Structure formats: C-alpha cells, structure tokens
Amino acid sequence: MQRSEEIKTHHTTSSIMPEKTVSLITAVVRDRHGKVLSRERHEMRSFVRAWNHILCINGSPPGGVSTPDTGNVWRSLLAAPSNFQCNAGIGDVSTGIRVGTGNTPVDIAQYALIAPIAEGAGAGQMQHQGMTFSFIGVVGNVCSFELGRVIVNNSGGAINVAEAGIYCYAVENIPPGNPNRPFMGARDLITQNVPDGGAITITYTIRIVA
Amino acid sequence: MMGKDLEYEVVITDKDGKTILRLKEPARSFLKAYSQIIFSYMSRVPQSIKDTGGVNRAISFGGAAPLFYAGAGNVNEGIRFGTGNTPIDISDFTLQSPIAQGTGAGQLDHLGCYATVPTVDGTESAFKLTRTGINKSAANIAVSEFGVYGHAYEGSNWRYFCIVRDVLGSPVMIPPGGAITVTYSFKAVE
C-alpha cells in the first residue's frame, strides 16, 4: 500500500559518520491506527555523568563514587547486580526509556530529563509500555544491542516530545538495605508530535566497534 | 561510552623509576563480552558469555558484583598485560598471551588495580583505571597487548571475562627492575 504521509527523517552529527558504527536513537510516531506519521534517527548524543559513575563504581571499592539521582539527591554508589537495570514494566517510569517536553541542550552533568512526561492518561501524560531488549550480536567488527519502549498518548490532546533518555537503577551504599535508586544514564533531544491516540516508539541501538 | 570514548596511556620506567617511554592513544576496543554484560545488567536477560578460558557461561545475578577492580597479585581481574600481537577481533575472549603473575622469567608482579574518582570537566565525565606490572625477573619482557578483565556471576560463581583488548603497533620493552603502567580513561562525552 502506498504511504501518503511524509516520513520525517532527521540526521544530525551522524551524517558525517558511518551510521553502522555509532550508537543511535530512533523515534517513530504512529497515529491511533498504527500508521507511521514521522520518524527520526540520529547518532545518540550522550551518555551522561551517572552512566560513567555507575560504570566506575564497578571498578572501585564501596563508597568511592557518588552521583545525583533523578531527584538530584547525591547517592554514594555500591557495585551491585542491580546497577544499570532498566527493564521497567508497563506503567513503571522509575527506570527504562523516558520522554519529556524539555528542549534544553544536553549537558554532561544533567541528572534527569528537563520535563519528564508522567505516566497516565490525563492531560500532558503518556502511558508507558514495558521495556523491550534485543541482543543483536556481532556483525563484522560491530557488536550491538537494542532497547526500546512504546509510549502511548491517551491524554486527549497532542503532545510535543522534545527529549528522551534512559533511566536505570544503581544501588546506594547504605547497608544493610542498599536500596535501588533511579539515575539518568543518557539524554537526547528529539522533535516529535504525538497525536491523541497515537504513540511514540523510542529505540536505542548501543554499539561497540573493534 | 560504548566504544568511542576510551583511551589508554602506557608508561615504561626503568629500575630507578625514570620514565623511558610514554605513549597515549585512543583505545581500540571494548569486546563482545562487555556489550553482553552491560546488556544483561540493563535487561536482566541472561547471556551466554565466553569466559577467559573459552567456556560459555550463563550470566545471572547472585550478589554484589564489582566488575573490574583487583588487588595486588590478582590477575583474574583488572588490567592485564600480554605478549600476543594478533589483531583485535571484537569476539576475542582473552588476551592472546597473557603474562602470568610472579617474579620469574617472563612474569610480572601486578600491583592493585582500581578506578579513580570520576570527574566532570566541561563536556565530559571521566575516570581512570590504572595498573602497574613490575619486572622482577633478570631479563627484558616485551609487552605487545593489554586489556581489562572483569567478572560477573554464573549462579553463585564468579566468572572472568575480557572486556577490553588493545594491541600495540610495536612491543614495548620492560627492563629488569623496570615497570609498565597502563591507564585506561573511560569517558562519557556530550
């Protein structure tokens, strides 16, 4: 079937880099019937401070690394198996891919989306489906995997999505409980309008290259 | 942080501590095992990962898991040095010819390996992982490769994986009494 809608493809810095060797963010917007309205794919802009700090604690004795959680509360980290966990289920916005309406440029020290969209079906809210993961594996000298999430707009009006990010857990060093805390590991700017009844699918393709 | 923002520095010193070689370059490669471990941590989906002995291990989550720091003399984890010069393959699961811990011929005495406290400077966040190997034997040792070993859990057992490997264009020579220090800088860059 011929698609009449315009597919918006947005390339930023990836236009000067081999697309198959960089990490990517892809956003696809569909209407209430599943028809694709727009699509955007470009080089993933940035893992941010917390990602690097969570990685660092896995090379450090306990208590050596602190970083702010998504509420801007500094937490002393602990190397633990919950670190990087982001397999959020339906309606869970503590971890997983989040979207927001803030368009402030990415800064390495950001600890949360500027204006994260809340879970729900009320005005300005979106309904988050469960996270999906796929390990693609090795193709040539590239090893990659994907994580994705569908986020549905049943708010009654259109929502402009301007940012996306990855929230994940890390463990705070408070024995004996050592609670999980949410951190933002990556943030990117996108420009998508999601109509009422429609949905946006965000996919991160994470690659390493030998 | 998944490959493009890693660099290394190599420093060779003689028996008096005098620097006789220093080189700093972009690191060549995280390896498949690193991608699999991060994927498993994020998704909680088990992965079959080849350990440094070439055995496939089903990675699970049974307890605290410091990924890649090591005490003195521990060569299961942390930065390792080797004599192999086979080009990097992203599916490499070990150094080609890792140098054993010790003071005998062809061995290095490995000091502890720990990450520094990360810093934020302008547009990047960075931390460093450093290790020194001392040549206490009576002959030169040529180092051609190095990398990072880490661990994850299979059931309740620690298993060891090679997550980074780099090969030098030409080997560096460590004289008797001298030392090699390799520092990896892990960065997240805007």
Whole-Å CA distances, B32 to B37, B51, B94: 9, 11, 11
Q: Domain limits at A82?
A: 4-209
Mean pLDDT of A7-36: 69
Q: Which residue has the tokens 């602990």?
A: A78
The SS3 assignment for A47 reads strand
Residue B66 confidence (pLDDT): 55
> pLDDT digits over A49-62, tens only?
999 999 999 888 77
Q: Domain coordinates of chain B in residue numbers?
A: 3-189
Residue B25 or B64, more confident: B25
Contact A56 B43 (CB under 8 A): no
Contact B2 A85 (CB under 8 A): no
> pLDDT digits over A51-100, tens only?
999 999 988 877 789 999 999 999 999 888 889 999 999 999 999 999 99
Whether the pLDDT of residue A168 is over 90: the answer is: yes
Contact B186 A52 (CB under 8 A): yes
Q: What's the pLDDT band for B63 if we cut at 50, 70, 90? A: low
- Bridge partners of A94, per DSSP, are none
With a CB cutoff of 8 Å and minimum separation 6, the contacts of B19 are B11, B12, B13
Q: Residue B148 corresponds to which amino acid?
A: V
With a CB cutoff of 8 Å and minimum separation 6, the contacts of B121 are none
Mean pLDDT of A137-147: 94
Whether the pLDDT of residue B61 is over 70: the answer is: no
Which chain A residues in 168-207 lie under 8 Å from chain B, judged by CB atoms? 168, 206-207
**Total domains, chain A:** 1
Is the confidence metric ipTM above 0.95 for this complex?
Answer: no
With a CB cutoff of 8 Å and minimum separation 6, the contacts of A177 are none
The SS3 assignment for B23 reads strand
Q: Which residue has the tokens 């109509």?
A: A195
